[in-house]
Each structure stands twice: as C-alpha cells, then as structure tokens.
Amino acid sequence: MLDWLRVEYAIEKPSNKLLSAADLDSDTWVAEVKRIRGKKHPLTAPGLHALRDEYTRTIAPARALAAETLKLERALSELEVLGGRPAPQSPGLFRAPRLRSACTAVLFRQVTTKAGPAAGPA
C-alpha cells in the first residue's frame, strides 16, 4: 500500500500515522494523506474516491481482522489463567479436560475416515 501511495499520491515519506494504517478510520486516513500532500497538491475528486475505495478494500478488512485477533487472544489468555475452566460469563466454553478430549476424538475420527464430518458418530 505504501508503494501505491508513493506512485499515485507522490508520498515519498509516509508519516507514522500512515505506517500504522490499521489504526486509522477512513476520515483520518484521508486527512493524513491530504496533510502530507499539502496545499500545493490538493486531492482531486477522483483521487479522494480512490483513497476511500482503497481504504474499504484493504484497511477496513485489516482492522476487522485485528479486532477479531485481539478478541481471540484475550479469550485464550483468560482460558490460560483459569487453567482451561470456563469463565463465569461463558459457562459452556471449554469444559476441560472432558470436552477437549471429546473434541479431539471427533476431529481425529473425521480426519482418519474418508467420509469426513458427514459420516456421523462412530
């Protein structure tokens, strides 16, 4: 993306904000590009539209994945702290070790049989 900004918008030295684009919302990202380009090189309407499209195509999905990753890391950390026991607000999460061994057995069965998950319980 930085190459694209360099070629399309003449941004040779991206700011720290642009380097951490996943932390920016659409308006902040566009404002940062405008700020770097300065008053001598204002954005055209098609240039602004292309920036917004690129944000929607690349940065927005990256932000969603980063948020989901953070959520999963926190859940994993909570499970590790609790020793595999479910947190009070999530009663059915991982009933260790019985649920974990049951899931492992089912997954092993699915992998080792040709029929896969549609075969049903063995």
**Mean pLDDT for the stretch of residues 100-104:** 49
Based on the fold, state whether residues 37 and 69 are members of the same structural domain: yes
Is there a single domain that holds both residue 71 and residue 111? Answer: no
Shared-domain flag, residues 4 and 53: yes
pLDDT given at position 52: 94
Q: Are residues 32 and 72 in the same domain?
A: yes
User: 46 with 103, same domain?
Assistant: no
Question: Do 89 and 35 fall into the same domain?
Answer: no
Task: Name the domain boundary from 66, 81, 96.
Answer: 81
Q: Which domain holds residue 14?
A: 1-81
How do residues 44-78 score in pLDDT, each as one tens digit?
Answer: 999 999 999 999 999 999 889 988 988 888 888 87
Clarify whether residues 19 and 38 are in a common domain.
Answer: yes
Q: What pTM value is reported for the model?
A: 0.57
Three-state helix/strand/coil letters over 16-78: HHHHCHHHCCHHHHHHHHHHHHCCCCCCCHHHHHHHHHHHHHHHHHHHHHHHHHHHHHHHHHH
Considering the domain architecture, whether residues 25 and 9 belong to the same structural domain is answered as yes
Q: Tell whether 5 and 39 lie within a shared domain.
A: yes
Q: How many domains does the chain have?
A: 2
- Reported as a single tens digit per residue, the pLDDT across 18-33 is 888 888 899 999 999 9
